Amino acid sequence: MSAAAPKPAPYGNDFLREVEERVEGGDWVRMCMQCGVCAGSCPLGPHWEHSPQKIFMMIRAGKRDEVLRSDSMWMCTSCYNCIVRCPRKLPITTIIHGLATYAHRQGLAPRVQPTRDFSLQFWGNSTRTGRVNEMKLTIGLYFRDGLVAGVKKGWSMRNAALGLLRAKRLNPLELLRGHECEDKAGIQRILAKAYELEDARRGKPVA
Amino acid sequence: MTKEYAFYPGCSSQLKASASNYLASVDSMCRTLDIKLTPIPDWNCCGASISYAGSGEIARHALNARNFALAEKHLPGQDIVATCAACWLNARETQERLAEDHVLMRDTRAALKEAGLDYGGETPVKHMVEVLIEDFGYDALAAPVVKPIEGLRFAGYVGCQTNRPFGIAGESFENPLYLDRLVETVGAEPVAEYDQKVACCGGALAFSEPEKSQMQIRAIVESAYDHGADMIVTPCPLCQANVEIYQEEINRRQGTKFAMPVVYYSQLMTIAYGGDAKDAGLDGQMIRAPRLEEIAAAPASPRRGI
**pLDDT tens over chain A, length 207 residues:** 456 677 766 667 899 999 999 999 999 999 999 999 999 999 999 999 999 999 999 999 999 999 999 999 999 999 999 999 999 999 999 999 999 999 999 999 999 999 999 999 999 999 999 999 999 998 887 777 777 777 777 777 788 888 898 899 999 899 989 999 999 999 999 999 999 999 999 888 886
Q: Within an 8 Å CB–CB cutoff, is residue B219 touching chain A?
A: no
Within a domain: B81: yes
Kindly state whether residues A100 and A150 are assigned to the same domain.
Answer: no
**Is B259 contained in some domain?**
yes
Q: State how far the Cα of B82 lies from the Cα of B39, in Å rounded to an integer.
A: 10
Partner-chain contact A141 B112, CB within 8 Å: no
| pLDDT tens digits, one per residue of B251-279 | 999 999 999 999 999 999 999 999 999 99
Q: Are A132 and B11 an interchain contact pair (Cβ–Cβ within 8 Å)?
A: yes
Which pLDDT value is given to residue A8? Answer: 65
B190 touches A67 (CB < 8 A): no
A182 located within any domain: yes
Mutate one of A71, A79, A96, A145 to test the B interface: name it (highest B CB count within 10 A).
A79
Tell me: do A133 and A188 sit in the same domain. yes
Size of interface A-B (CB pairs under 8 A): 221
- If asked whether residues B287 and B180 sit together in one domain, one would say yes
Check residue A149 and give its pLDDT: 77
Same domain (yes/no): A48, A28 = yes
CB under 8 Å to B170, separation ≥6 — which residues?
none
What span, in angstroms and rounded, lies between the C-alpha atoms of A200 and A187? Answer: 20
Question: Does residue A7 belong to any structural domain of this protein?
Answer: no
- Whole domain around residue A85: which residue ranges? 14-105
Residues B56 and B153 in one domain: no
Is residue B210 situated within a structural domain? yes
CB contact under 8 A, B200 and A190: no
The per-residue pLDDT for B305 is 43
Q: Check whether residue A179 and residue A124 sit in a common domain.
A: yes
**Cα dihedral sign for B13, A83, B61, B122?**
positive
B85 reaches A (C-beta below 8 A): no
- Predicted pLDDT at B102: 97
Contact (CB<8Å) A98/B52: yes
Do A19 and A83 lie in one domain? The reply is: yes
Q: Which of A105, A132, A157 is at the close of a domain?
A: A105
Within-domain flag for B302 = no
The residues of chain B scoring below 50 in pLDDT are: 305-306
Would strands B231-234 and B262-264 be described as parallel, antiparallel, or unpaired?
A: parallel
Q: Mark which of A49, A71, A105 sits at the end of a domain.
A: A105
Q: Residue B8 in contact with residue B66, Cβ under 8 Å? A: no
ipTM field: 0.95
Q: Which residues contact A120 (CB under 8 A, 6 or more apart)?
A: B53, B54
For residues B72 and B213, membership in a common domain is answered with no
On whether both A25 and A82 belong to a single domain, the answer is yes
Q: Do B59 and A190 touch (CB under 8 A)?
A: yes
* Same-domain pairing of B62 and B165: no
> Which chain B positions have a beta carbon within 8 Å of A187's beta carbon?
44, 63, 66, 115
Does the beta-carbon distance from B286 to A120 stay under 8 Å? no
Q: What is the side-by-side order of every strand in the sheet holding B3-8?
A: B35-39, B3-8, B80-82, B125-127
CB B246 within 8 A of CB B214: yes
Cis peptide before B165, with omega less than 30 degrees from 0?
yes
Verify that B9 and B120 share a domain, yes or no. Answer: yes
Sign of CA dihedral B200, B203, B209, B211: positive
Mutate to test the interface with B, among A47, A126, A196, A202 (most CBs of B within 10 A): A126
Q: Are residues B162 and B226 in the same domain?
A: yes
Same domain, A97 and A145: no
Is residue B183 located within the same domain as residue B280?
yes
Helix (H, G, I), strand (E, B) or coil at B275: coil
**Domain assignment present for A1:** no
Specify the 3-state DSSP secondary structure of B23: helix
B-contacting residues of A 186-205, CB under 8 Å? 186-187, 189-195, 197-198, 201-202
Nearest by CB to residue A126, choosing from B43, B47, B115, is B47
Chain A residues 101-120 with a CB less than 8 Å from chain B:
101, 104-105, 109, 114-120
Q: Is residue A9 included in any domain, yes or no?
A: no
- The pLDDT assigned to A2 comes to 54
Tell me, yes or no, whether A136 lies in a domain: yes
pTM of this prediction exceeds 0.80 = yes
- Domain assignment of residue B142, yes or no: no
A191 falls within a domain:
yes
Q: In chain A, positions 35-54, which contact chain B (CB-CB < 8 Å)?
A: 43-44, 47
Asked whether residue B265 falls in the same domain as residue B221, the answer is: yes
Q: Does A175 fall in a domain?
A: yes
Would you say the C-alpha torsion B239, B244, B245, B248 has a positive or negative sign?
positive
> Is B293 found in the same domain as B226?
yes
Across the interface, whether the CB atoms of B203 and A79 are under 8 A apart is answered yes
- Please give the DSSP secondary-structure letter assigned to residue A30: G
Closest by CA to B122, choosing from B85, B68, B64, B70, is: B68
The number of domains in chain A is 2
Contact A194, B112 (CB under 8 A): no
> Cα separation of A62 and A85, whole Å?
26
CATH code for position B248 = 3.40.50.11810
Is the same domain home to A154 and A189? yes
Q: Is residue B242 part of a domain?
A: yes
Q: Is residue A5 part of a domain?
A: no
Phi-psi region of B288 (alpha: psi -120 to 50; beta: other; left: phi over 0): beta
Query: Is the domain of A118 the same as that of A98?
Result: no
| Cβ pair B56:A101 closer than 8 A | yes
* Chain A residues 69-98 with a CB less than 8 Å from chain B: 75, 77-81, 83-85, 91, 93, 97-98
d(CA B62, CA A188): 11
> What DSSP string describes B69-126?
HHHHHHSTTPPEEESSHHHHHHHHHHHHHHHH-HHHHHHHHHHHHTTT--------EE
Q: Does B200 touch chain A (CB under 8 A)?
A: yes
User: How close is the nearest chain B Cα to the Cα of A39, in Å?
Assistant: 15
Task: Tell me, yes or no, whether B112 and B173 share the same domain.
Answer: no
Looking at the structure of chain B, the number of domains it has is: 2
Picking from B110, B207, B252, the nearest residue to A197 by CB comes out as B110
How big is the CA angle at B102 (ends B101 and B107), to the nearest 5 degrees?
105
- What domain range includes position B234? 147-297
User: Do residues B288 and B152 both lie within one domain?
Assistant: yes
The verdict on residue B304 lying in a domain is no
- Verify that A164 and A195 share a domain, yes or no: yes
Considering the domain architecture, whether residues B120 and B159 belong to the same structural domain is answered as: no
**How many angstroms separate the CA atoms of B26 and A96, rounded?**
34
Domain CATH code at residue B14:
1.20.1050.140
Q: What is the pLDDT of residues B28-73, one digit of tens each?
A: 999 999 999 999 999 999 999 999 999 999 999 999 999 999 999 9
| Strand ordering across the sheet containing B262-264 | B189-190, B153-156, B231-234, B262-264
B91-103 pLDDT per residue, tens: 999 999 999 999 9
What type of residue sits at position B100?
E
Distance in angstroms (rounded) separating the CA atoms of residues B111 and A190: 5
Q: How far is residue A93's CA from residue B86's CA, in Å, rounded to a whole number? A: 14
The CATH number assigned to the domain holding A55 equals 1.10.1060.10
Please say which residue of A105, A128, A163 terminates a domain: A105
- HEC profile of B248-272: HHHHHHHCCCCCCCEEEHHHHHHHH
- For residues A76 and A18, membership in a common domain is answered with yes
Which residue in chain B is spatially nearest to A83 when comparing CA positions?
Answer: B165
Q: How far apart are CA B203 and CA A111, in angstroms?
A: 22
Does A101 lie in the same domain as A118? no
- Cα–Cα distance for residue pair B288/A160, rounded to 1 Å: 13
